[in-house]
Amino acid sequence: MTFDPLIAATHSLGLMAISGISFGIIQRKVKTPFAMSAIVGLVFSTAAILAMLQPWELSPGVYLDARSVIVGLAAAFGGFPAAILSVLLVGAARIAIGGVGTEYGVSGIIACAVLGYCWRRLFWTEHAHKPRHLIGLGGLLALHAVTVFILPIRLAIDLSIVMVPTLIVSSFIGAFIMGSLIERERKYLQTENHWRQNASTDPLTGLPNRRAFAAALDDITPPRSPLHSGVFMIIDADHFKTVNDTYGHEAGDAALKHVAECLRQSVRPGDKLCRFGGEEFGVLIPSISRSLIAARAEDIRRKVAENPVVFEGRTIHLTVSIGVAQRSGPHVTAFHSMMRDADLALYKAKATGRNCVSVSDDPHALTRDHPSNVTAGASLTHPRGTWKKPRRP
């Protein structure tokens, strides 16, 4: 079936727009690069084949449509797997249609795939949708117009007056349609990520907040070794109100950032951090040898104590008290009871004199550089019924 130029052009532009919108959805939903490229190849191949079903027939067996440009866009924005998949599928469809223009049609498909992929290799960045980059893409794809001369020479000369300008214009239009849709999608993703980050991040310290911390618990894998436990720590800055009253709230903010940075430097990949609010922070270690629990907490305490905060030329000495709770095996997922034990242990650390670590239900006594700073082996019983947080001294 053939259509007049206006219908064919409108149909092709619509398919390009749908391809661009689909690309944005794929980019948002698919995270694996190879899978994303393969899906882009399938989607754009489908659009190119649909474009061939409603072409502008310039001469018996010679069709003009957007197939080659769409393949070029697949290669440019989808990458190598998308380029190969598009060439194979769309090329096979063009061969199946047949006619005197088959060699020209297949050559244009291959040429656009190569040119689009070359653009990707040379110019692709996260800002590749900018006008100057899209002009470069349109210019490269426009070069495939020379494949017109694969047709019998007399026929090529007769048709080139129409085909060459049309192919050049469609290349630039296709590049700008894709670019504008990708730019729209990029801004959407940027806004979405901004609000998601704000909803899950403490704005002062940059640490995950309580909501993000709770969501991260779903990914916790219980320790497999019987010698390992899952550990939760509550870290509370000592005499923080005094810091605020003495040095001002800006200095207090600097002190909280300092504690957050000490925590970042103390944890391993896989450990979870958060700021609960105020001067209280949390650390969840999914699996650690029981013999190292108190030592890890003591390392955090020492790092804060031995690295004072410097704010506007003034040195602020800060210490923290740490309450530690532990669970073995599948019980590590019982986070609420772990948090309760850690909070009780923190109360004990505060009552002991602050600037120390209290480990709830720690079966191992550890030797440390500053043994007086660690209260270990504190077997705390859990009151039944509704638990009320005790007032800290």
Residue 307's CATH number = 3.30.70.270
Tell me: do 231 and 360 sit in the same domain. Answer: yes
Domain boundary among 141, 170, 200: 200
The reported pLDDT for the residue numbered 365 is 34
For residue 67, the one-letter residue type is R
Q: Residue 392 gets which letter from DSSP?
A: P
Question: Can you list the alpha helix ranges (DSSP code H) found in 201-248?
Answer: 210-216, 240-247
Residue 273 bridge partners (DSSP) = 283
CA 388 from centre of chain: 39
Specify if 63 maps to a domain.
yes
Q: How many domains does the chain have?
A: 2
pLDDT one digit per residue (tens) for the chain, 393 residues: 445 777 878 888 888 888 888 888 888 888 899 999 999 999 999 999 999 988 888 888 888 888 999 999 999 989 999 999 999 999 999 999 998 899 999 999 999 999 999 999 988 776 667 788 888 889 999 999 999 999 889 888 988 898 899 889 989 988 888 778 777 877 787 787 777 777 778 889 888 888 877 777 666 666 666 677 888 899 999 999 999 889 999 999 999 999 999 999 988 888 888 898 889 999 988 888 888 888 889 999 999 999 999 888 889 999 999 999 887 755 555 667 788 888 999 999 999 888 999 988 643 333 333 444 545 444 333 332 333 334 444
Tell me: do 192 and 278 sit in the same domain. Answer: no
Domain boundary among 143, 171, 200: 200
The reported pLDDT for the residue numbered 329 is 58
Contact 322, 235 (CB under 8 A): yes
Question: What CA–CA distance (Å, rounded) separates 293 from 283?
Answer: 12
Specify if 70 maps to a domain.
yes
Specify if 277 maps to a domain.
yes
β-pairing, 56-59 vs 62-64, is: antiparallel
Specify if 176 maps to a domain.
yes
The reported pLDDT for the residue numbered 57 is 85
Tell me: do 217 and 192 sit in the same domain. Answer: no
Contact 267, 273 (CB under 8 A): yes
Tell me: do 222 and 98 sit in the same domain. Answer: no
Tell me: do 271 and 190 sit in the same domain. Answer: no
The reported pLDDT for the residue numbered 364 is 34
Specify if 48 maps to a domain.
yes
| pTM for the full predicted model | 0.58
Tell me: do 306 and 189 sit in the same domain. Answer: no
The reported pLDDT for the residue numbered 361 is 63
**206 torsion bin: left (phi>0), alpha (psi -120 to 50), beta (else):** left
Residue 358 bridge partners (DSSP) = 323, 375
Residue 7 bridge partners (DSSP) = none
Tell me: do 38 and 149 sit in the same domain. Answer: yes
Question: What CA–CA distance (Å, rounded) separates 55 from 155?
Answer: 18
The reported pLDDT for the residue numbered 331 is 54
Tell me: do 167 and 305 sit in the same domain. Answer: no
Tell me: do 191 and 219 sit in the same domain. Answer: no
Contact 28, 193 (CB under 8 A): no
Tell me: do 189 and 269 sit in the same domain. Answer: no
Listed in sequence order, the residues at least 6 apart from 326 whose beta carbon sits closer than 8 Å to its beta carbon are 229, 230, 231, 232, 290, 293, 338, 359, 360, 361, 362
The reported pLDDT for the residue numbered 319 is 93
Specify if 390 maps to a domain.
no
Domain boundary among 148, 170, 200: 200
For residue 163, the one-letter residue type is M
Tell me: do 196 and 340 sit in the same domain. Answer: no
The reported pLDDT for the residue numbered 366 is 37
Tell me: do 362 and 315 sit in the same domain. Answer: yes
Specify if 385 maps to a domain.
no
Contact 252, 190 (CB under 8 A): no
Question: What CA–CA distance (Å, rounded) separates 253 from 230?
Answer: 30
CATH of the domain at 163: 1.10.1760
Specify if 391 maps to a domain.
no
The range of the structural domain enclosing residue 232 comes to 210-378
6 three-class SS: helix
